[in-house]
Structure 1
Amino acid sequence: MWDFLALGLRNISHRRTRSILTVIGIFIGIAAVVSLISLGDGLQQVVAGEFQKLGTDKITIMATAGGMMSSPMASEISANPLTDEDVSLIKRVRGVKAVAGMLMKSATLDFKSVKKSGFIYGIPTDENMKMFEDMNSIEIVQGRKFTRTDRNVIIVGSYFATDMFDKKKVKIGDVITVNNRDMRVIGIMKSVGNRMDDSSVYAPMETVRDVFSEPKLLSMIMVQTSPGAEPAEVASAIEKKMRDRRHEKEGEEDFSVSTSEQLMATFSLVFGAVQAVVIGIAAISLIVGGIGIMNTMYTSVMERTREIGIMKAIGARNSDILQIFLIESGILGLIGGLVGITIGAGIAKVAEIAAAQALGSNILKTSFTPELIIGALTFSFLIGALSGIMPARTASLMKPVDALRYE
């Protein structure tokens, strides 16, 4: 076996240029697959971590409208939006510990004559504020939190404070004009590594409702279940209560009720399907690479016909010739895999850095596991070996006399 391996390496090195051209298809395919899988796994780990911080005892209710997926903005256009009445209804469901509504509105933000568009979130300032802070990773590093009596004050994200207004720094006590309403900054949040969240503006619910003349509207309702309660069962009970109040049939609801585990499962399902399609497209180059190896091995068989005849004449068996060419084609695939893994890792890392700079977010992370590397190497070797089966079989079935006569 070691002799066959040495012979394969020698033959590849003697035809270096051809070998390099042959493995291009393999390493492009492996590079694409490795980079996509590593970024996908990293993203899933980050998202899973966020859901873990959210906790398994949380339930999220959002509206759906006009064929839209459930989202905070759907309540704006829904014929039957979420309101305070829904909160009152949910509070009476067995297994519910706390309920908090949130109102999300698009706004014009003005600071020192620099105007920007953004979102402002109206949040509770009562006993449910702690649950909302935990679910949204709100941590104040400067200033203070809201009190029950606060009005026309805001808490802003770290990016909002440092970079939102053309490098004009927002400090505690500064006034931001939100849709022509002056609001004083009382708190700045710790960065969470996500530009969207770090650009957030939070205000007391009553203030946002007053500015936008929305006395009852809610964009989202968050629920915390009681200790020992099964979130899925509580979610089902909430869904039934809301459906009955709205006189809607099961399956025709204009709202969604999801546990954190259901949200994670939905994300994993959708992301997995997208990743599979993208990787499938990238893997086409592996097929092209395999065809390239097959073509190269056929050429090699033709060039080495006399050599095959000599080996058979001195006692080489058909199985020996078969192994020689299979190992050689497998090595070509393996070389392509090694180069592809290196390039794929580089591409993934560059994508991670570029995303962090462009989005201001750490959500795109690379994840290189031993299973990924070993799997990529094994797959590339198998692609090479399988591509070499037909040429190797052709070589092994040659008759010594005919091979020796070949010119």
Structure 2
Amino acid sequence: MIEDYFNLALKNLKKRGVRSWLTLLGILIGVAAVVSLVSLGGGLKAAVDSQFNIGSTEVLTVQAGGMNNYGPPGSGASNPLTKEDAGEIGKLSTVEVSIPRNIRNVKLEFNKKVSFTYAGSIPDNQREMDYVYDFVGLETISGKLLESGDRGVIVIGSNLADMDKNGLDKNIKVGDNVAISGKTFRVQGITKKMGSIIMDSTVLMTENDMEDLLDYGNEVDLIVVKAVSKDLINQTAEDINKLMRDRRDVKKGQEDFDVSTPQAMLESVNQIISGIQIFIIIIASISIAVGAIGITNTMTTSVLERRKEIGIMKAIGARNEHIFYLFFIEAGLLGMIGGIIGVLLGTAVGYAGTSALNTFLGVATHPEISFWLILLTMTGSFLIGAVSGLIPALNAAKENPVEGIRG
């Protein structure tokens, strides 16, 4: 019996052709937006996670505020951090190690071409070098990382080595000489792809080489701090805040510096992403609501057009509930078909968007499309359609057979 209802409903939808397609368009667009957004959201959050390079939960970063340009973190601050700040932070009982780092814009010349990128300093002390490599998760695919005592050599990110991404029309290999801000360096290593725009396009050199090259003196762009224990991460942050307020003579709430953990930054960005998701879902819900109104309108029109058909069915024995179920299921199918096409379209958009994200950011993410998301979306689409057709179905069930046959 149920199968007969569905077969009749499908036949009626096919008869209305273009009208049926136009009716389910609102549901289709809304569902596609929701599915693509949910799938893209998962991929985007994974990409953001990779950009922060979270490899250790004990790591904090300290950087000066009041930036007056659009350079790397901490650069161009009106009141920059100093090496002495890093030294004092390192003396705190909750801190295992405090490493000053600088990240600056530099000009790279190779193959008679010019590219602008970042240069990051690596401590000359081997112990601190190893800490940085561990924090960031640095490994090479060719050559080797910098070691204590190295001079005149650099390690470059995978994107800088790739002619398709470095803008230099030629691959850079280990052993090649490149000019960094006018000074020649030999490439000693190329790092593995990390999925970070910054790290995959950065030149790494020792602190001494970078200071000689850029002459930034005692300034520090960023201080990387490792807490004694991840359980003390909040206490460590508080200790650093207190120390830096005293050193910079500022009151609580008026800090001109920032102490943060990668997790805190990630949570902040994810909150923004979630907010965007909620906003777009609201817009998509409006589209679904418009689609639901369209289904109600179409089914009401269908009831008026098929009064004679309803009258004949009742005259040959169809009961009110039979008529009701026929129109109710027909409305539900309108919603479900829109939902199915919306899921397919949303999935395609999700994969296409994630692929573009992977290409742009150099990460390896995939859309998060679960069985439950598909099931919930399709069930919801059917219910939205069915509820939208509830009143027209009730009106059809109440139709007087004699008046219906008369037309």
* 1: CA distance, partners of 2:157 / 2:118: 12
Residue 380 of structure 2 corresponds to 379
Of 106-115 and 188-197, more deviation after overlay is shown by 188-197
Query: Runs of 5+ in structure 2 lacking a partner?
Result: none
Superposition pairs of residues 145-184 of structure 1, within 5 angstroms:
145-163=145-163, 164-184=166-186
> Shift in Å at residue 320 of structure 1?
4.4
Question: Secondary structure of the residue that 1:76 maps to in structure 2?
Answer: coil
What one-letter code is carried by the residue in structure 1 that aligns with 2:390? I
Call closer, same or farther: CA 1:138–1:15 in 2, change over 3 Å: same
Describe the shift of the 1:136–1:72 C-alpha distance in structure 2 as closer, same or farther (beyond 3 A): farther
1:154, distance to aligned residue in structure 2 (A): 0.9
Which deviates more, 56-65 or 304-313? 304-313
Q: Distance in 2 between matches of 1:72 and 1:112?
A: 26
Pairing 1:342-361 to 2, within 5 Å after superposition: 342-357=344-359, 359=360, 361=362
Residue in structure 1 matched with residue 366 of structure 2 by the alignment: 365
Distance 1:309 1:125, change over 3 A: farther
User: Which of the residues 212, 216, 226 maps onto 1:214?
Assistant: 216
- 2:260 pairs with 1:261: no
Match of 2:96 in 1: 97
Q: Does 1:41 align with 2:42?
A: yes
Taking the aligned partners of 2:180 and 2:87, their CA distance within structure 1 comes to 29
Instruction: Tell me if the contact between 2:156 and 2:187 (Cα under 8 Å) persists in the aligned partners.
Output: yes
Report the CA distance between 1:338 and its aligned residue. 0.7
Find the counterpart in structure 1 of residue 306 from structure 2.
Answer: 304
CA shift for structure 1 position 302:
0.8
Q: 1:135 maps to what in 2?
A: 135
Flag the 1:162–1:264 CA change in 2: closer, same or farther, 3 A. closer
Q: For 1:278 and 1:106, how far apart are their aligned partners in 2? A: 36
Deviations 1:288-321 (A, max 9, x none): 3222222211111111222333444566555544
Change (3 A) 1:148 1:262: same
Structure 1 residue runs of 5 or longer lacking an equivalent are none
CA contact (8 A) 1:162 1:169 kept: yes
Partners of 1:390 and 1:255 in 2: CA distance:
62
CA distance in structure 1 between the aligned counterparts of 2:316 and 2:248, rounded to whole angstroms = 88
Contact 1:63 1:72 in 2 (8 A): no
Percent identity of paired positions between Structure 1 and Structure 2 = 36
Task: Choose which of 245, 248, 257 in structure 1 pairs with 2:247.
Answer: 245
Deviations 1:174-205 (A, max 9, x none): 22111112222111111224454322111112
Indicate how the Cα distance of structure 1 residues 141 and 89 shifts in structure 2: closer, same or farther if over 3 A, else same.
same
Helix, strand or coil at the partner of 2:187: strand
Q: Deviations over 1:312-364 (max 9, x none)?
A: 4566555544333222111111111111111121122222333444x251255
Q: Distance in 1 between matches of 2:27 and 2:373?
A: 16
Check whether the contact 2:158–2:193 (CA below 8 A) recurs between aligned residues.
Answer: yes
SS at match of 1:77: coil
Cα deviation for residue 84 of structure 1 reads 1.2
* CA distance in structure 2 between the aligned counterparts of 1:165 and 1:306, rounded to whole angstroms: 72
Alpha-carbon RMSD: 2.5
Code of the aligned partner of 1:156: I
